[in-house]
């Protein structure tokens, strides 16, 4: 009986002396900006280039504090010139340095017409303190699917976006 009492007191003491373990934490960054560029498509008469519609965009990047170089990004955008359209993007991001990363992902518009495809780009951040900065993001997308493709061809976007990035 004394042995069980000693074991129980030892276990109780060991449990009482432990501290809470800290689990993996999710880091979030938000961004808001504007973008435009060039778009091209072949409606059957050859490749035609024109200025892409101005877009307002916002999004969030999610990453782990244990592996902050890898992130999952979500973006929503509204093209505001001529006719409005609404779209979104999901991307895998790899941060090569604290203020420079590359990404690849899926993008598309969902209203009023649909376009779907993939793209890649890079993000450079000009920091203003630890949690706020300006981002500049050149990108390239090819959108072969949807109801808004030119002559059943591929629509190509070469865009540049810029705006504010902030830690959440």
Hey, where are the domains in the chain? 21-167
Distance CA 52, CA 16 (A): 63
Phi, psi of 20 (to 5 degrees): -65, 140
Q: How far is CA 43 from the centre of its chain?
A: 31
CATH architecture designation of domain 21-167: Beta Barrel (2.40)
pTM of the model: 0.80
Tell me what pLDDT residue 148 has. 80
Grouped pLDDT means (10 residues each) for the chain, 168 residues: 59 59 78 95 81 94 86 95 90 94 95 93 94 96 88 88 93
Phi, psi of 23 (to 5 degrees): -85, 175
Phi, psi of 108 (to 5 degrees): 180, 165
Distance set, CA 60 to CA 25, 29, 52, 71, 123 (Å): 16, 6, 23, 10, 14
- Helix (H) / strand (E) element for 116: namely strand 115-127
What letter does residue 10 receive in the DSSP assignment?
Answer: H
Tell me what pLDDT residue 42 has. 79
Residues, the chain, total?
A: 168
Output the six-digit token pair for 92.
């895998």
Tell me what pLDDT residue 23 has. 61
Tell me what pLDDT residue 90 has. 97
């Amino acid at each position: 009986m004394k042995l069980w009492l000693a074991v129980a007191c030892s276990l109780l003491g060991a449990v009482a002396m432990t501290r809470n373990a800290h689990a993996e934490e999710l880091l979030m960054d938000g961004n808001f900006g504007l973008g435009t560029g060039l778009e091209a498509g072949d409606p059957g008469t050859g490749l035609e280039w024109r200025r892409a519609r101005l877009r307002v965009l916002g999004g969030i990047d999610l990453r782990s504090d244990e592996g902050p170089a890898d992130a999952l990004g979500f973006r929503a955008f509204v093209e505001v010139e001529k006719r409005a359209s609404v779209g979104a993007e999901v991307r895998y991001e790899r941060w090569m340095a604290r203020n420079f990363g590359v990404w690849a992902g899926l993008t598309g518009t969902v209203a009023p017409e649909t376009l779907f495809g993939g793209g890649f780009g890079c993000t450079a951040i000009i920091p203003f303190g630890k949690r706020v900065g300006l981002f500049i993001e050149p990108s390239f997308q090819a959108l072969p699917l949807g109801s808004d493709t030119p002559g059943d061809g591929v629509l190509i976007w070469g865009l540049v976006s810029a705006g504010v990035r902030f830690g959440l």
